[in-house]
């Protein structure tokens, strides 16, 4: 079990994400908080998510060495604003926290526009959007604004004020296990771990920030209700990059011992319909195999592993760990002009589809539960299916098109059953059956359930 240094508890009991109103309320509460990789805005955000996932909290203290990184000091920001030559406050952190460069050092200075311009950030190609800009590891300061605002600035003296400081603090991450309730604690069954993680550090961004944690929370609540789990599931939330590095520094070797596969959730709230899966660096995990098959069936899109872009899967897949962790998205980072701008907002994402996206990921994980070598209870010869209501007891030309009047999609089900039983030799799984039969995974999953419930498959 992972070590931890604290926990966030909710005095009002566990909240549920059951409908679109629940999703919207959570989104509206989280969106305006001034998050960063450290600090009160991040902590408050994790506390809110902890109403839905009862996280334990791990910490890495400022100044600690974590692999090739040093945990940064904690950023404290009270206020930031820019006053123009006429005395008007034209930028205000308290109204829009994207308007200050994240991790800005303090400044209180009057300067000419030429000097100020060196520390202003805008996007000429998108003149009405504010960019999201950070500088975590090199001290500087800055303001972000629309390019239209920037072009309207008049020469004169501007008063730049950023009331911030850096203190000894910590990078924090949350984690929560859902234990497999079919595994044997005494070692009769080897425990296998599935990691599901997301990040929480960007302020006032919707698809590239809040979609991942919100879907993570909804997914946890759905999976907590599963009657049987063949795997252990570990849910993790952290600030992107430095958070997963700290987590791996403290627990990487431990989770690597039982890691079967993993998913990083990011950008799952945009308008694209299909799930998009980025393969793990190894490309050979059971989830890699499943998603590749789902691509063949037209259900998902596949991206190859690319260490030059992405999210925390880059840390999990780094050469030393090389863990089998892929990434799930919809409207992926960098594929839309709204990425890392103020246009990545509530209007851009489709909050009414967060729960259906959650259901899609849950269904993949349900199928994955069955993606193990198939074995029969009775391994010799054919199984007598008729006495189990799975084969026609009267065989005639009239029954060739349907195995039984009580079965739906009769011939497909019978074909799937016969193939599964024939190849249930401890060497083949459902993806192998899908390739042989051209039957979709979501249907094979149902048919495998029937055989397991009939005590035919182990």
The residues, any chain, with a CB within 8 Å of residue 176's CB and separated by 6 or more, are 53, 54, 55, 56, 220, 234, 235
* Residue-level pLDDT, tens digit, the chain, 458 residues: 343 345 444 444 578 999 999 999 999 999 999 999 999 999 999 999 999 999 999 999 999 999 999 999 999 999 999 999 999 999 999 999 999 999 999 999 999 999 999 999 999 999 999 999 999 999 999 999 999 999 999 999 999 999 999 999 999 999 999 999 764 444 556 789 999 999 999 999 999 999 999 999 999 999 999 998 999 999 999 999 999 999 999 999 999 999 999 999 999 999 999 999 999 999 999 999 999 999 999 999 999 999 999 999 999 999 999 999 999 999 999 889 999 999 999 999 999 999 999 999 999 999 999 998 999 999 999 899 888 888 765 554 555 455 444 444 467 888 999 999 999 999 999 999 999 999 999 999 999 999 999 999 98
Distance CA 416, CA 433 (A): 8
Distance CA 249, CA 395 (A): 63
Top CATH class, 6-71+174-369: alpha beta
What is the pTM for the complete model shown?
A: 0.92
Strands (E), 15-106: 56-61, 65-66, 69-70, 74-83, 89-92
* Span 53-65, pLDDT tens digits: 999 999 999 999 9
Distance CA 148, CA 122 (A): 9
* E strand or H helix at 7: strand 6-7
The residues with which 165 forms a beta bridge, in sequence order, are 76
The reported pLDDT for the residue numbered 15 is 87
The reported pLDDT for the residue numbered 190 is 77
CATH 3.50.30.90 fits 74-167, yes or no: yes
* Span 294-348, pLDDT tens digits: 999 999 999 999 999 999 999 999 999 999 999 999 999 988 999 999 999 999 9
* E strand or H helix at 277: strand 275-278
Exposed, middle or buried, 359 (CB in 10 Å: 0-12/13-18/19+)?
middle
Same fold, 6-71+174-369 and 74-167: no
- Taking the C-alpha atoms of 420, 425, 426 and 429 in order, what is their torsion angle to the nearest 10 degrees? -30
Domain ranges within the chain, ordered by starting residue: 6-71+174-369, 74-167, 386-453
* Span 389-408, pLDDT tens digits: 887 655 545 554 554 444 44
Distance CA 379, CA 421 (A): 9
Closest CA to 210 of 8, 339, 26: 26
Distance CA 340, CA 332 (A): 12
Distance CA 180, CA 38 (A): 33
């Amino acid at each position: 079990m992972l070590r931890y240094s604290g926990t966030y508890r909710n005095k009002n009991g566990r909240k549920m994400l059951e409908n679109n109103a629940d999703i919207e309320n959570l989104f509206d509460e989280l969106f305006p908080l001034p998050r960063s990789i450290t600090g009160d805005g991040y902590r408050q955000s994790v506390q809110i998510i902890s109403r839905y996932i009862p996280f334990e909290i791990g910490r890495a203290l400022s100044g600690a060495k974590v692999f090739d990184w040093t945990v940064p000091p904690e950023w404290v920001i009270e206020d930031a604003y820019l006053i123009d030559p006429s005395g008007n406050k034209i930028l205000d952190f308290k109204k829009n926290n994207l308007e200050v460069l994240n991790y800005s050092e303090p400044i209180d200075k009057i300067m000419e526009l030429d000097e100020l311009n060196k520390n202003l950030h805008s996007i000429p190609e998108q003149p009405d959007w504010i960019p999201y800009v950070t500088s975590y590891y090199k001290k500087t300061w800055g303001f972000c604004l629309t390019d239209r605002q920037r072009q309207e600035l008049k020469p004169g003296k501007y008063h730049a004020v950023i009331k911030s400081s850096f203190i000894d603090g910590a990078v924090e991450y949350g984690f929560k296990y859902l234990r497999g309730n079919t595994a044997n604690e005494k070692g009769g069954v080897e425990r296998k771990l599935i990691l599901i993680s997301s990040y929480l550090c960007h302020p006032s961004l919707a698809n590239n920030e809040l979609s991942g944690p919100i879907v993570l929370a909804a997914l946890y609540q759905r999976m907590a209700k599963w009657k049987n789990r063949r795997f252990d599931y570990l849910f993790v939330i952290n600030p992107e990059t430095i958070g997963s590095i700290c987590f791996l520094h403290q627990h990487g070797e431990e989770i690597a011992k039982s890691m079967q596969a993993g998913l990083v959730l990011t950008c799952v709230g945009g308008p694209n319909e299909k799930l998009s899966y980025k393969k793990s660096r190894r490309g050979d995990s059971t989830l890699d195999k499943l998603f590749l098959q789902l691509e063949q069936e037209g259900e998902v899109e596949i991206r190859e592993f690319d260490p030059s872009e992405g999210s925390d899967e880059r840390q999990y897949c780094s050469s030393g760990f090389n863990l089998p962790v892929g990434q799930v998205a919809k409207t992926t980072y960098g594929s839309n002009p709204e990425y890392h701008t103020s246009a990545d907002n509530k209007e851009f994402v489709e909050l009414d589809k967060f729960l259906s996206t959650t259901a899609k990921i849950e269904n993949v994980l349900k199928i994955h539960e069955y993606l193990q070598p198939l074995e029969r209870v009775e391994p010799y010869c054919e199984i007598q299916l008729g006495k189990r209501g799975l084969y026609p007891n009267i065989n005639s030309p009239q029954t060739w098109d349907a195995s039984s009047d009580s079965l739906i999609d009769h011939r497909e089900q019978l074909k799937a059953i016969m193939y599964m039983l024939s190849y249930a030799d401890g060497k083949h799984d459902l993806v192998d059956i899908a390739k042989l039969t051209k039957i979709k995974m979501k249907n094979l999953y149902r048919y495998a359930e029937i055989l397991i419930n009939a005590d035919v498959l182990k």
